[in-house]
Structure 1
């Protein structure tokens, strides 16, 4: 799950120096906010307090918080069992007491974190509704007898963060709609093959 990079080694040094009594609340806070895409775990004011509490400059505190968040995100991504997570963290030379605290925090919050991450979408816009109608053009100024079918679609897209709905209008001729249908069928087959 983890590579022992230079920045992780540096962060591990900070982790090993932390007061164990303050470590669990720090992890709990990160786990409470880990599912939020654009929100930091701590406010600027809280980070300033953490800097003085842990005696770390701003960029070192940021590295520490980002590394802990990374560890927990990886645990969520891999659905890490406590034994595996323990082994992975020990291989990074994190002190055993800190590893135990991380694993305990993960074990305590894993179900809730996974549930919240499962509700989070990767795409900011989601299709929420489709309306359609079929039109048949029977004549125009140049031709009096003709039959040109076309399909009109109205897609309602909800933006995740604002709950606003945007309407997208599409118009397809018979051939265009058939080509679009074939593309959807191809996508469906590829999704089915993933199972």
Structure 2
């Protein structure tokens, strides 16, 4: 069986790996593995191969799995972690796919989504950077005051193409400056998805306060 989900391809090996995670790994061990993968995959920090091997060996021992089953489970989760970091996903959609398409139980699905949110909260952290060591007066919040937009067309920059490109122009007026964005259709969709992701993360954080 092979089917394409929005952010990952569902295959029989993937289902098998998810089944091992569901049936043979405790929630605590599952959480430790997922946390480790989110921390180390695409990480900019240098980790020696000896340290990585030691960490993975510890995770295997804690999981109680034999080497073959652990390798299948680890590859499955590594694939899911990598794919989840490449797409703008809603937490609810990610959780639904983990439960319905991969048949993970509710607890493990929640654990995966929790670590995913923690790994991707860099978006919120970046938005919250305001002063960079400046004075208290200059670090006041930069609030959005108004948004305006228009659509225009321009000729393609490619010499052999005379098609017109539709561009959306956004003007974001804040208390400190005016930000102008010019986006094509694909970029506008990506921008919209990113805003939805930020809203979802804000909703999660708000529910915890």
**What is the CA-CA distance between 1:59 and the residue it aligns to?**
3.2
Rg comparison, structure with higher value: 1
User: Over the residues paired in the alignment, what is the CA RMSD in angstroms?
Assistant: 3.4
Would you say 1:63 and 2:69 are equivalent positions?
no
The 3-state SS of whatever aligns with 2:103 is coil
Would you say 1:81 and 2:87 are equivalent positions?
no
CA–CA separation in structure 2 for the residues paired with 1:61 and 1:70: 14
The 3-state SS of whatever aligns with 1:4 is strand
CA–CA separation in structure 2 for the residues paired with 1:75 and 1:54: 23
1:98 aligned residue: 108
Would you say 1:13 and 2:22 are equivalent positions?
no
Pairwise mapping of residues 17-166 of structure 1 onto structure 2 (< 5 A)? 17-36=24-43, 43-91=52-100, 92-112=102-122
CA–CA separation in structure 1 for the residues paired with 2:53 and 2:35: 18
8 Å contact 1:31–1:113 — kept in the other structure? no
**What is the CA-CA distance between 1:61 and the residue it aligns to?**
1.7
CA–CA separation in structure 2 for the residues paired with 1:31 and 1:112: 13
The 3-state SS of whatever aligns with 1:35 is coil
CA–CA separation in structure 1 for the residues paired with 2:115 and 2:8: 18
* Distance change >3 Å, CA 113–CA 36, structure 1 → 2: farther
8 Å contact 1:86–1:103 — kept in the other structure? yes
| Uncovered stretches (5+) of structure 2, i.e. residues with no partner | 1-6, 126-156, 162-182, 188-209
> Normalization by structure 1: what TM-score?
0.52
Moved over 4 A (4+): 37-40, 192-195
**What is the CA-CA distance between 1:57 and the residue it aligns to?**
2.7
* Distance change >3 Å, CA 114–CA 99, structure 1 → 2: same
> Normalization by structure 2: what TM-score?
0.49
| Residues 26-69 of structure 1, C-alpha deviations (whole Å, 9 max, x = no match) | 222111111149977x7222322333322223232222122112
8 Å contact 2:25–2:64 — kept in the other structure? no
CA–CA separation in structure 2 for the residues paired with 1:25 and 1:43: 14
CA–CA separation in structure 1 for the residues paired with 2:28 and 2:14: 22
CA–CA separation in structure 1 for the residues paired with 2:124 and 2:30: 22
